[in-house]
Every structure is written in C-alpha cells, then in structure tokens.
Structure 1
Amino acid sequence: MKLYEHQKKGLEDTKRFNKVAYFWDMGTGKTFVGSEKAISLGKNILLVCQLSKLDDWKKHFLEYYAPKIVLYDLTKKEELEQYVKTQCSYIKVGVINYDKIFRRNELKNLKDFTLMLDESSIIQNENTSRASVILKMNFENIILLSGTPISGKYEKLWSQSHLLGWKISKKLFLKHYTITEKFELPNGNFTNKIVGYKNVERLKRKLREYGANFLKTEEVIDLPKQTFVDINHPTSKDYEIFKKDRIITIDDEVLVGDMPLTNRLYQRMLLGISDEKLSVLKDLIDSTNRRIVIFYNFNKELEKIKSIIDRPLSIVNGDEKDLSAYENYDNSITLVNYQAGAKGLNLQKANILIYYSPTVSCEDYMQSKKRIHRIGQELSCFYYRLIAPTSVETRIYNALERGEDYTNELFIQEEENEIE
C-alpha cells in the first residue's frame, strides 16, 4: 500500500501511542491510516462501522491485507462464534456495525484486542446502548476515526476522550471548553445551548497528549474548488394548504400537523414530493451528461425522483446499496439517503451533487459535502440546493450553515410565530 506523505506523518506522530484518534477532515484518507495502525498493534482487531460501510471495510482489508489476515463478518452468528473461539497465527479482523454490537453479548467478554471505531462521533451520546457497550469494553488498544471534530463540534469529543484514557468528567469538560447561553423554551422552561467554544488550542494539546491527531484537508491536499448554487422553486398548493390548516389528504393518507414536530416533518415531505421541485430537478439532470449524486430524505421522494430518471441508476439507502451504475457509467445518477450514505461513501468519480431536500442534521450535511470533494477528485465540484424560498427549507439551510441541527426546540417557537 502506497501512502501519501501526510498519512505517513500521521502514523509516525502517533507511533508511540496504543490509543489514538485520527480526527482528520473528510477525504484525507483515514481508512488507510486507521487500518495500518490497527495491523501494527496486534493480532486481534474489532472494527465497528456503519451498516452502509460494512462491505467497504471488508473489501478494504481483503484487498490490502490478504493473505495475512482472516476476516470475519460479525453480523453473521456463525462467523461471530468462529471469531471469538479461534486462536491462530494470522491477524483476526472482525467487522460489525454499530447497531449490532450491543446485541452481541459474546463481544462484551473480549480481552486484549484492538478496537477501531469508524466515524467515532457516532458514540458521542454515552447514554445510547451502542455507546455504553463500547465504553465498557476491555480493549487493549483503540483507534478512533472521525472528521466531525474538524467541523467544530467539540462537545462531541467527551466520550471519545474517555476512550483515549482522559478521565475528565463530562461536566468539567463542557465547563472548560464550551460557551453556553440560557434560552427560554416555548413551554416556559429554560435550556442551555452551546453557542461557542473556548480554550480550543488547550483542548487540542490535551487530546494530543492522549494520542489524538488533527488534520484539515487544506493543510495537506490541494483539492479543486467547491461552488454552491441555490436553485429556487415555488411551493406547491398542497404545501400552502397544509401550512395554513395543518391538515391535508394526500393519496388517501391524512397528514395532521397538530404537533410542532409532525407539522415540520410533513412540511418537509410535501415540499419533497411536489411537482414544482421535481420539475426543477429534471431540468437540472437534463442539463448535463456527467455523473450526478443526489441526496434525499424520504422514501416518497425516492419514488418521485426515480420516476423521472431514464439514465443508469444507483441507490444507497437503508434497504439497498448498489453502486454498479455509478462505477460503470459516466452519465449515471446516484440517489443517496442521508442516513445511509452521508458518511463514508467515496463518490469522487462525480463532481456534481444535488441536495434535493435538506437534512436536519448538521453533521450529515457537512459529511455529505465530502462525498465528491476528496482525494482523487480532479474537477471543480458543484453543489446545487433545490430550495422553496420562505419555506421550512430556508430555515433548515440557515441553521445548517450556522453549524446547528434543525432539531432544537428553540426552532419550534420560530415556526409557531410564523403561523400566527
């Protein structure tokens, strides 16, 4: 395997650590650095990743490390049993997804192994089942891979810091490194919201003492220019009716927005299935014969988009992952669901990305940008956001650009005031 100079340097800088974190920007090649470090640390590797990345990681280990490894897919019971029981002179590599690990009791008793967490920011909430299991595991070595901290979400680092061996309490961590303000919620209660960070360089120095390595794309890679274009389209009649009345019947299904969260959800959905948005998308697709990647949210959106496409089609969502058209046809369209494909996919054969509808997750939004803008991309990257002005989509994108999720209860009051 031939590594880039920045990858070699990252490995050299962390050579003395058996607990490391590569908090590298998306597209800088964390997969190769993480696997090289894991192979160097020992005979037993447990890799945890997203479900959509299982096949990619299996292919990676088999392509670059066979025949000196034995690979086990731990989502399969029989391979899990073999992985736990087998003693061999080869390096054992077990691969499993986050949502399965807390269901595999056999893994709770593992000892003296190297734990590698791909997209380790997934365990930011230590109270989830998957995070609590991982935090209690008896590993000897650990490797964390994440691009999220580079995007500035430093509050998400506490559980990862704990895994690296820094035993600072969460309360003290937040006190030392985040700036919060108190806000009143619509129900009269108050909540603290993180509005900024402090002592960031001190935080990074402390994390480096525990094996963390930080890297931004622009420090090591001269990637092509990114251009963002907003394409406006009108709202539909159905959207305006629902926005006013909070109830509408679509295809014999009654949508009732009696609660703020359902009201917001159905507004997004009605925009996503509107003929107005679909028409703009079709014009955009018809304007080029290049590969296109399209991010969407809902299954109903997927069906609408598929109905207007007459080119080779690839789909990545919770039910399927088929990139054969993307790989083999330079005029292909690749439809990607945010939750299944915002993180980890390598789609740099394309240089055009369309946001059919916005995600409410800032992390997914930031990650999605890097699917085409990464090592191997030689063309300027163009991002098209299809937006209905003065709609919920505008507010969502404004929040995402500020680095916020559009799920905070503070936004509910904004929506209520608009309706009144």
Structure 2
Amino acid sequence: MKAEDYLELPDCVTVNTPVALDSKARKAYETLEKTMLLEINDEEITADMAAVLTGKLLQLAGGAVYDGNHNAQIIHDCKIIAFMELVDGLAGEHALVFYGYQHERDRLLKELSKTKLRVRVFGGANDETDWNNGEIDVLLAHPMSTAYGLNLQDGGHHVIWYGPTWSLEQYQQANKRLHRQGQKKPVIIHHLIAEDTVDGDVIKALDNKSGTQEALLGALKARIEKYKEGKI
C-alpha cells in the first residue's frame, strides 16, 4: 500500500509556470538540439544516450551548459528571472528548491544573495533541523541528497523544481520530503518549464508516472524525425 492509502495527507497540487526564452536563448537551444539530434541515428538511441542528450538540453533550458573543460557557460537568464519572480510571489512562504546541476545551484545562490532571504544549500542534519524550525526561507537541494529518510514537512509547503529530473523515483521521493505525515498545509509543487524545450517532455513523462525512459526516448526520436524531414 502507498502511504496516501492509509494516511490522511493534505492535498498536493502542481503548478506549471511557463518560461519564455528570449531570441538569443531560443536560437542557442535550437542550434544545440539540432546539432545533437542529427548526429545520432534514432534507431540506436539507448536509455543512457537519451539521459545524456536530455541532460545537456535541460542545462541549456536552465540557462547554462558545461563546456569540454567542465566550465559553466552562461547562455541566458530567462529561467533565473522567472524563478526570482516566483519566489517573490510566495510572499514570505518558505520554499524547498531542487536543482539538477552545480552551476544551477551557484547561479541561484548568486541571485538569492541579492535579497534578504535566509538561504541555505542542504548539507545534512543541521539544515534539516533549521528548516523545520523555520530558520531557512529558501533551501536549495539536489534531489539525490534528499531522496529518503528526511522529514522536512514542518518547514514549508512549497516545492520548486528549477529544472525537472527525468528520474521518476527521484522526483517522487524528493516531493515526499514535504508531502508526508505531519504536513499541515496543502503542498504546492511548482515546475519552471522553458517553453518548447525538453523541459516539457520530461514533465509529461513524469505526469504519466510510468515509462519515463520510454517516453523520453519516444520524444527524442520524434524530434529527430522532424529535423530530418525539415519540419523544424
């Protein structure tokens, strides 16, 4: 049985916030996507290959990508701006924010440092205690670092996904850090989705709650065919 089958939990709702890419960001994204997808044969795409391709495109949708020397190259601030507007709109409500890459964490920290918010990157038990005591306004975390065993339900009821993870297990477990026994308010899960990017494909796959890898493989193959046929 699932926890929600025998425990009375508050509602859990998702809010998708579309993020429009500016012309420079759109051109960079489409160039990278076309270059990467046309270099492979759609019949040979494996789950691992799909993860690599998706990861690169997720990075660019978020605003930066690692180059060959593992240095982050900033492409745009569209999603960072949308994130800051979202946090401001929470009007003081605390937020558990999930990032996928270190350069996302660093950029989020840089922007949040310009505010008076109490910001922390999750690092262990002390952060768990301080969050639950209401001493942290924005807690940044990688979904893998908070997957199991953490009880964060006392510190807030907003989850923000700066960039989605294609791992259904990571996604569900991360959200359960707030949506669990003891939570007193409805949990709101915010997705920042760069429009017309792989962000949308990942969210759709997660919403289906099964076959995430297969869904992403299908989406990538469909994009390859459109590029080859000149439809995009």
Determine if the TM-score, normalized by the shorter chain, exceeds 0.5: yes
Q: How does 1:109-128 map to 2 (within 5 A)?
A: none
Q: 1:231 and 1:246, CA in 2 relative to 1: closer, same or farther beyond 3 A?
A: closer
- Residue 119 of structure 2 contacts residue 136 of structure 2 at CA under 8 Å; is this kept in 1? no
Q: Give the structure 2 partner of residue 414 of structure 1.
A: 222
Deviations 1:178-206 (A, max 9, x none): xxxxxxxxxxxxxxxxxxxxxxxxxxxxx
Question: Aligned to 2:145, which of 340, 347, 350?
Answer: 340
Structure with the largest fraction of helix: 2
Structure with the largest fraction of strand: 1
Q: Give the structure 1 partner of residue 14 of structure 2.
A: 228
- Residue 95 of structure 2 contacts residue 158 of structure 2 at CA under 8 Å; is this kept in 1? yes
Deviation at 1:247, TM superposition (A): 8.8
Question: Aligned to 1:404, which of 211, 217, 223?
Answer: 211
What is the CA–CA distance in structure 2 between the aligned matches of 1:329 and 1:385, rounded to whole Å? 23
Q: 1:286 and 1:325, CA in 2 relative to 1: closer, same or farther beyond 3 A?
A: farther
- Structure of greater relative contact order (alpha carbons < 8 Å, 6+ residues apart): 2
TM-score, normalised by the number of residues in structure 2: 0.74
Q: Give the structure 1 partner of residue 200 of structure 2.
A: 394
1:277 aligns with 2:79: yes
CA-based RMSD of the aligned residues comes to 2.7
- Residue 20 of structure 2 contacts residue 194 of structure 2 at CA under 8 Å; is this kept in 1? yes
What is the CA–CA distance in structure 1 between the aligned matches of 2:38 and 2:134, rounded to whole Å? 42
Deviation at 1:381, TM superposition (A): 1.1
**Structure having the higher Rg:** 1
What is the CA–CA distance in structure 1 between the aligned matches of 2:220 and 2:165, rounded to whole Å? 17
Aligned-residue identity in percent: 22
Q: Give the structure 2 partner of residue 199 of structure 1.
A: none
Runs of 4+ displaced beyond 3 Å? 245-248, 255-263, 327-331, 406-412
Deviation at 1:263, TM superposition (A): 4.0
What is the CA–CA distance in structure 2 between the aligned matches of 1:228 and 1:355, rounded to whole Å? 11
What is the CA–CA distance in structure 2 between the aligned matches of 1:291 and 1:226, rounded to whole Å? 16
Deviation at 1:285, TM superposition (A): 1.0
Deviation at 1:345, TM superposition (A): 2.1
Q: Give the structure 2 partner of residue 301 of structure 1.
A: 104
- Residue 289 of structure 1 contacts residue 331 of structure 1 at CA under 8 Å; is this kept in 2? no
- 3-state SS of paired residue (1:282): helix
TM-score, normalised by the number of residues in structure 1: 0.43
Q: How does 1:9-158 map to 2 (within 5 A)?
A: none
2:110 corresponds to which letter in structure 1?
S
What is the CA–CA distance in structure 2 between the aligned matches of 1:341 and 1:331, rounded to whole Å? 16
What is the CA–CA distance in structure 2 between the aligned matches of 1:241 and 1:418, rounded to whole Å? 18
Q: 1:357 and 1:216, CA in 2 relative to 1: closer, same or farther beyond 3 A?
A: same
What is the CA–CA distance in structure 2 between the aligned matches of 1:224 and 1:326, rounded to whole Å? 20
2:150 corresponds to which letter in structure 1?
L
Deviations 1:19-48 (A, max 9, x none): xxxxxxxxxxxxxxxxxxxxxxxxxxxxxx
Q: 1:284 and 1:409, CA in 2 relative to 1: closer, same or farther beyond 3 A?
A: closer
